[in-house]
Amino acid sequence: MQNLRFNALHEAQTRQEVHVKLPSIKVSDYFATNVFHDEVMQHYLPADAYKSVKTAIKNGTKIDRTIADQVASSMRTWAIDKGANSYTHWFQPLTGATAEKHDSFFMPTQNFKSIEVFAGDALVQQEPDASSFPNGGIRQTFEARGYTAWDPSSPAFIIERGDGKTLCIPTIFISYTGEALDFKAPLLKSIHYLEEAALPVVNMFDRHATKVMPTLGWEQEYFLIDEALYNARPDLVMSGRTLIGHAPAKGQQLDDHYFGTIPDRVYQYMLDFEQESHKLGIPVRTRHNEVAPGQFECAPMFEEVNVAVDHNQLLMDVMERVAKRHKLKVLLHEKPFAGVNGSGKHNNWSLGTDTGKNLLSPGKTPRTNLLFLTFFVNVIKAVHENADLLRACIATAGNDHRLGANEAPPAIISVFIGDHLQRVLDEVVSTVKSGKLSALKSDELKLNIHNRIPDVLLDNTDRNRTSPFAFTGNKFEFRAVGSSANCSLPMMILNTIMAHQLVQFKQEVDKLVKGKEDKEAAVLRVLKDYIESSKDILFEGDNYSAAWAKEAAKRKLSNVKTTPHALDFLLTKKAKNVLVGSGMFTERELLARYEIFHENYVKKVQIEGRLIGELAIDYVIPAAIDYQNKLIQNVMGMKSIGSKPTVYKTQTTIIESISGHVNAIYVNTEKMIEARKKANLIKHEPDKSKAYCDSVIPQFEIIRSHCDKLEQLVDDQTWRLPKYRELLFTK
Ligand code: ADP
Ligand code: MG
C-alpha cells in the first residue's frame, strides 16, 4: 500500500465542492418548518388545551395528564404529516453529548393490522435503558432506573436524515430517586431560581414586568479539515486533537485568514448546515473565518437560555452530520493544533423581561438607568464572590490547552467593564460617600448618571478581547467557555450565582427601606458597598500579560491552570453554600458531578497517552529509521568510492541526530507508561486525575518535541502522517 498520507493528500486535493440547493431564497420561507413551535401547537391543539399548556410553560408548573395526551396526539399528527415515523426523547447526559433512543409510532394490532400511536405517557416520560451513562454513584444497581421527562419549555423538532425523520422531544434525565443525571435539569432549576430572584428586584422599578428570563447568544468556533486527511491522523480520529505535528512555516502570523474570503468548499458546507439549522429553528445569522487557518465561526440571534442551549447542542450534531456530505470533518475540540489558536464558545448572557426590556441595557431615563446599574453591579458582585465557580464550570481537559495560551483568557477570572462604566461606578461611590443622597430626592437624584450611561451604547469600540468576562454594551460575554462544551453548566452557574446575589441584594435594600430610607437612595447605598467590595475583580488591561498574573496574585484572585485542580472549587464551603444551599443540587448531585468531571478528564488523558505512545512507536520511529537507513546506505556508498568522512559529515550528523531522538522517544514513552500505570493504581478519582495531570501530561510534551524534531529531519516522502500545513491549508 502506498503511504496513507499521500493517498489522502491526493484525495483531498482532487475533491470537488458539493453544491447546495437551498429550499428557497428567503430563509423565512423555511425557518422552523421542522419545529413544533407555538403557532403549530395552537393550530393542532384544541383552544383550551393550548391555553393550559401555555400557562404551564409560563409558570413552570406540571402539565395535566389529559392535556399531555392531547399534546401527544397533536404532535403525532403534525410529525406524521411531516413524514416522521418514529420519535425519541432527546436528552443531555453528563457525557457532554446528546442521547436518543428511537421508538416507532407503528404498533401492530391483530391479524397483521397496525396503527400509528403516540400517547401522553410516551410524551411525558420514558425509561431508557441508560445504565451506562455516567452517574457518579447516584444510581446504585438496586435503583438503576433512569427516567427522561418532557421539558415543554423547549419545543419538539424533527430531525431529517434522508427518508428517515424522527420526532425529537427535549427532556431532562433523572434517576429513580429524582436526582438529576444530566445537564438540563439543573439548568432549568437555575433559570427558575433566577426568574424568582430577579422579578422582585425588577418590580422595584417596573411594576408591569411579570417575568424575567436569562438569555444566551453563543458563538461557535470550529475547524474544518478534509475527511481523508483526518482519517490519516489516528490522533484526530481518536482524541479530536493532534498530539504531534511540527508547526507549519506559515501559521496565523499574517492574520490573513481572519474575516477573509470564505473558501468555496467551506462556503457550500456552511450554506448546507445553516439551512438544516434554520429548518430546526436555530436562528444562525453570522458566519466568518476565524483567526487560525482552517478555523471558522457561526453565531445565532440570542434566545432564552434553555432553548439556546438545546440549539447549540443540536447545531453541533447538525454540523458533524452535514460535514460528511462535503467530505469534511468538523473539529469542535478546544485545541486541535498546537501553535495555532484553539476554539472557544463565547456565551453572551443577559436578562430580559416580558415587558421587552434587556436588564443589562443602559436605559435612557434615570429610572431605567438605576435598573440597569442595579443588575450590572449585581453581576459584578456575583462574579467577585464566585469567580472560582466560574473557573470550575469551564474546566475540561481540552480547555486546559487553550486558557492562558495567549489566545484565550487566562485561568484568572476577572470582569471587564470599560473606562466609561468604571467612571459611572466611581461616581456612584463618591456621591453616596459625599452624603448628598438625601438631598437628591428629585430625578436628579441619579447623580447625572442618566447623562452618562446612554453613551455606553454608542461606544462599542471600548472592548477588551482578552477578558474572560466582558461587558459588551448590553450583555456580558463569558469568553472562557470551550468550543465543545455544553453551555448548560456555565449558564447554570451564572444564573445561580446571580440569583443568589439578587436575593441578598433585595434583603439589604428592604432592610434600609424599613429603616425609612428612600428606596432609590437605599439601592444606591447598597450598590456603593458592592462596587467597593468587588473592585478587585475588575480589570481593564491585557489579560494575557505576565503583569496581570502578578497583579491578580496580589489581589488574591485564583489562577488555577488545570482541570483537576480547578474542579476542587466545586466542593468548597462557599460553593456548597451557593449550589446546595439554593437547592440547585443536592449534596449527592454535586459530588456526582465532581467525580464525573474528574473521571472524564482521566479518560481523555488516558486515551491521549495511549495514542501518543502508538504514534511514536508505530509511525514516527519507523519513518525515522527508514530514512536513517537510506542515509546509512548513502554513507556506505560514499565510503566504497573512497570519500573521506568530512564529505559525508552531514549524513552522519543526521544519522546520529535521528538516533538521539529515537532513543529519547523510546525512553520517555516508557516513562509515560510507567506514570500512567502508577496513576491507574489510585482509586480515588480526583486524586487519579491529579496524577494524570501532574505526572503523565508533562511527558506528552517531551515525547512530542522529539517527534516534531524528527518530522523536520526526515525526508518528506518517508513521513507517514499528514503534516500541519496539509491539514490546515488544503482547501
Ligand atoms: P461579537 O462582536 O462579540 O461577535 P455580536 O454583537 O455579534 O458580538 O453578538 C454576539 C452574540 O451576542 C450574538 O449571538 C447575539 O445574538 C448575542 N446577544 C446580543 N444581545 C444579547 C442579549 N441581550 N442576550 C444574550 N445574547 C445577546
Ligand atoms: Mg464575541
CA–centroid distance, 220 to ligand 2, in Å, is 10
In Å, the largest CA–CA distance within the chain is: 106
Segment 592-627, tens digit of pLDDT: 999 999 999 999 999 999 999 999 999 999 999 999
Q: Give the pLDDT score at 458.
A: 46
Q: Is residue 101 pLDDT above 80, yes or no?
A: yes
Segment 348-398, tens digit of pLDDT: 999 999 999 999 998 776 666 889 999 999 999 999 999 999 999 999 999
Segment 524-583, tens digit of pLDDT: 999 999 999 999 999 999 999 999 999 999 999 999 999 999 999 999 999 999 999 999
Higher pLDDT, 329 or 424: 329
Measured from the alpha carbon of residue 299, the closest ligand is 1
Q: Is residue 253 pLDDT above 50, yes or no?
A: yes
Q: Is residue 15 pLDDT above 70, yes or no?
A: yes
Could you identify the atom of ligand 1 that is nearest to the CA of residue 361? 23
Q: Give the pLDDT score at 655.
A: 97
CA–centroid distance, 278 to ligand 2, in Å, is 21
CA–centroid distance, 301 to ligand 1, in Å, is 7
By mean pLDDT, which of 122-126, 221-225, 489-493 is the weakest?
122-126
Counting beta carbons within 10 angstroms of the beta carbon of residue 46, is it exposed (0 to 12), middle (13 to 18) or buried (19 or more)?
exposed
Ligand 1: which of 259, 348, 459 to mutate, judged by most atoms within 8 Å of the beta carbon? 348
Cα-based distances in Å from 417 to 364, 423, 517:
19, 10, 29
Q: What band does 3 get if pLDDT is binned at 50, 70 and 90?
A: confident
Query: What value, to the nearest 5°, has the Cα angle with vertex 326 and ends 247 and 724?
Result: 5
Could you identify the atom of ligand 1 that is nearest to the CA of residue 216? 25
Tell me what the mean pLDDT of segment 55-60 comes to.
Answer: 81
Which residue has its alpha carbon closest to ligand 1 atom 17? 217
Measured from the alpha carbon of residue 218, the closest ligand is 1
Which stretch, 122-126, 221-225, 244-248, has highest mean pLDDT?
221-225
Higher pLDDT, 528 or 446: 528
Q: Give the pLDDT score at 306.
A: 97
Which stretch, 143-157, 240-254, 324-338, has highest mean pLDDT?
324-338
Please give the grid coordinates belonging to residue 478. 463569558
CA–centroid distance, 154 to ligand 1, in Å, is 21
Q: What band does 441 get if pLDDT is binned at 50, 70 and 90?
A: very low
Neighbours of ion ligand 2 (CB under 5 A): 346
Q: Is residue 285 pLDDT above 80, yes or no?
A: yes
Q: Give the pLDDT score at 641.
A: 96
Beta bridge partners of 158: 167
Could you identify the atom of ligand 1 that is nearest to the CA of residue 301? 16
CA–centroid distance, 496 to ligand 1, in Å, is 21
- Whether the Cβ atoms of residue 410 and residue 375 lie closer than 8 Å to each other: no
- Whether the Cβ atoms of residue 194 and residue 496 lie closer than 8 Å to each other: yes
Query: What residue type is assigned to position 202 of the chain?
Result: V
Q: Under DSSP, is residue 282 helix (H, G, I), strand (E, B) or coil?
A: coil
- Whether the Cβ atoms of residue 366 and residue 58 lie closer than 8 Å to each other: no
Could you identify the atom of ligand 1 that is nearest to the CA of residue 352? 23
Ligand 1: which of 303, 312, 475 to mutate, judged by most atoms within 8 Å of the beta carbon? 475
**Superfamily, domain 192-585:** Glutamine synthetase/guanido kinase, catalytic domain (3.30.590.10)
Q: Is residue 254 pLDDT above 70, yes or no?
A: no
Measured from the alpha carbon of residue 285, the closest ligand is 1
The CA dihedral of 519, 520, 522, 526, to the nearest 10 degrees, is 140
Write b or e for each residue in 529-561: b if 16 or more Cβ atoms lie within 10 A of its Cβ, otherwise e: ebbeebeebbbeeebbeeebbebbeeeebeebe
By mean pLDDT, which of 453-457, 671-675, 685-689 is the weakest?
453-457
Class of domain 600-729: mainly alpha
Q: Give the pLDDT score at 461.
A: 47
Ligand 1: which of 213, 220, 302 to mutate, judged by most atoms within 8 Å of the beta carbon? 302
**Superfamily, domain 31-182:** Glutamine synthetase, N-terminal domain (3.10.20.70)
Q: Is residue 462 pLDDT above 60, yes or no?
A: no
Q: Is residue 453 pLDDT above 60, yes or no?
A: no
- Helices (H), ranges, 366-487: 366-392, 397-400, 419-434, 449-452, 454-458
Q: Give the pLDDT score at 574.
A: 96
Segment 399-435, tens digit of pLDDT: 999 987 777 888 999 999 988 889 889 988 988 888 7
Q: Is residue 442 pLDDT above 50, yes or no?
A: no
Domain boundaries, the chain: 31-182, 192-585, 600-729
Could you identify the atom of ligand 1 that is nearest to the CA of residue 350? 24
Q: Give the pLDDT score at 2.
A: 62
CA–centroid distance, 407 to ligand 2, in Å, is 14
Q: What band does 637 get if pLDDT is binned at 50, 70 and 90?
A: very high
Tell me what the mean pLDDT of segment 86-113 comes to.
Answer: 91
Measured from the alpha carbon of residue 345, the closest ligand is 2
Residues with C-beta less than 6 Å from any ligand 1 atom: 215-217, 219, 299-302, 348-350, 358, 474-475
* CB atoms near residue 254 (< 10 Å): 9
Q: In whole angstroms, what is the distance from residue 638 CA to residue 604 CA?
A: 49
Q: What band does 141 get if pLDDT is binned at 50, 70 and 90?
A: low
- What 266-271 contacts at long range (C-beta under 8 Å, 24+ apart), as own/partner pairs, is 266/224, 266/296, 266/328, 266/731, 268/17, 268/18, 268/19, 268/20, 268/326, 269/18, 269/224, 269/322, 269/323, 269/326, 269/328, 270/296, 270/298, 271/20, 271/22
Segment 717-726, tens digit of pLDDT: 999 999 999 9
Q: Give the pLDDT score at 367.
A: 64
Higher pLDDT, 573 or 101: 573
CA–centroid distance, 217 to ligand 2, in Å, is 9
By mean pLDDT, which of 230-244, 361-375, 655-669 is the weakest?
361-375
Q: Is residue 40 pLDDT above 90, yes or no?
A: yes
Find the helix or strand (DSSP H, E) in which 102 lies: strand 99-104
- Whether the Cβ atoms of residue 232 and residue 722 lie closer than 8 Å to each other: yes
Could you identify the atom of ligand 1 that is nearest to the CA of residue 349? 25
| Percent composition of the chain: helix, strand, coil (DSSP 3-state, to 5) | 50, 15, 35
Tell me what the mean pLDDT of segment 276-285 comes to.
Answer: 98
pTM, rounded to two decimals: 0.95
Measured from the alpha carbon of residue 478, the closest ligand is 2
Q: What band does 496 get if pLDDT is binned at 50, 70 and 90?
A: very high
Q: Give the pLDDT score at 437.
A: 65
What does the mean pLDDT of the chain come to? 91
Beta bridge partners of 103: 87
Q: Give the pLDDT score at 446.
A: 47
CA–centroid distance, 319 to ligand 2, in Å, is 20
Q: In whole angstroms, what is the distance from residue 659 CA to residue 251 CA?
A: 29
Q: In whole angstroms, what is the distance from residue 274 CA to residue 308 CA?
A: 16
Please give the grid coordinates belonging to residue 125. 416520560
